[in-house]
Amino acid sequence: MNIIENLVSVWDYLAQTDEPIVLYGMGDGADKVLAEFEKLGIKPYGVMASDDFVRGQSFHGFTVKKLSDFENELEGFTVALCFASQLPDVMEHIRLVAKRHALVVPSVPVFGENVFNYDFYKQNEEQINRAYSLLADDLSRNVFCDIIRFQYTGRLEYLESCTTDKDEAFKNILKLGADEAYLDLGAYNGDTIDEFMSYTNGSYKSITAFEPSAKSFRKLGEHCAGMENISLWQLASYNSNTQLRFNTKSGRNCAIDPEGVPVQAARVDTILCGKRITYAKLDVEGAEKETFEGMENTIRLFKPKLNVAAYHRGEDVFALILQLNELNPGYRFFLRHHPYIPHWDTNLYCVDSLSCL
């Protein structure tokens, strides 16, 4: 099966368009897009930001302007979206821009170097098809194809057509009960513990949470003060007990960075020491593969339900399925995309087949 048959990649489209290209955004995503533009010889016309963020600043030598500025000086142009948001008003504004101008989303990975272009697809086509064959329902297969097509073409319609709310996944796939032993990897400030509690009506057997950022870990401790049967660890999950360097970005973006501050990392199996886990959430900023290597025993022994971020690296949407199938061939795999532009919050849900009986 050739999922991208007859489709034009976003990079080929941008290289061939006769319209001026205006980048929308001026963060890390725009940095990566401009780096790829330089490799491909694509020349952007300018950079824009939402009206509230335009203050005459400069980005990569371009004066940052408003959408209306470009509309006044150009008859037509293509917008290359270079930032992410799950805020409803921001996503609606992006859709409105897309109604007025050609808009594409160049797919650059959050982490790693693998840009989802034609060569990347062909190099991984066999693995992509194997992962597709392991998906458990039609919705997952549709999401899988649409996410790959979105990454390849940058077209919002593929993203919009496969978006569902988280409630559907929690109620129809995970079906959390009142006696869950929960492992939260990338617990941040406790928001995903709150999410877990909302689906179990506040009942649980135990909670174990990892958070590497010192600032977020302090907030996590304050948030969870007084809770029973909870164990908090200021650790990054990894495939060895070692020290890594993490950036000091605020929010959820704490991740491995050679220039960052030292943080202790550990194998989940080392910390749990055989403790039973029934449900695990992983949002570990690109270290999902290494984390699974470090919790191999937990997965093989207890086959916990899994909720895994599958969008940080270009290969995650298929490679994580294949990795987990090796660890537990009994897993049923479900893929869902929740409201976000671009394809962030594309999650892999895994449930052992015996637990579904």
Same domain membership, residue 155 and residue 15: yes
Is the residue at 342 inside a domain?
A: no
pLDDT band at residue 244 using 50, 70 and 90 as cut-offs: confident
What distances in angstroms separate CA 334 from CA 141, 169, 342, one per listed residue?
A: 8, 9, 20
Mean pLDDT, residues 222-234: 96
Q: Which two tokens stand for residue 88?
A: 């409803």
What distances in angstroms separate CA 207 from CA 192, 221, 331, one per listed residue?
A: 11, 13, 23
Q: List strand residue ranges (DSSP E) for the chain, in order.
A: 21-24, 46-48, 58-59, 62-63, 78-81, 102-104, 181-185, 206-210, 230-233, 236-237, 242-246, 261-266, 279-282, 305-309, 331-337, 346-352
Same domain membership, residue 242 and residue 190: yes
Tokens 């900023």 identify what position? 285
State percent of the chain over pLDDT 90.
89
CATH number at 15 reads 3.40.50.20
For the entire predicted model, the pTM comes to 0.93
Spatial separation of the C-alpha atoms in residues 172 and 166, rounded to whole Å: 10
Q: Is 205 exposed, middle or buried (0-12, 13-18, 19+ CB in 10 A)?
A: middle
The gap from C-alpha 326 to its chain's centroid, in whole angstroms, comes to: 22
Number of domains forming the structure of the chain: 2
CATH number at 305 reads 3.40.50.150
User: Structural domain of residue 210, as residue ranges?
Assistant: 175-309
- Amino acid letter, residue 33: V
Same domain membership, residue 208 and residue 109: no
119-168 per-position pLDDT tens digit: 999 999 999 999 999 999 999 999 999 999 999 999 999 999 999 999 99
71-123 per-position pLDDT tens digit: 999 999 999 999 999 999 999 999 999 999 999 999 899 988 889 999 999 99
Is the residue at 242 inside a domain?
A: yes
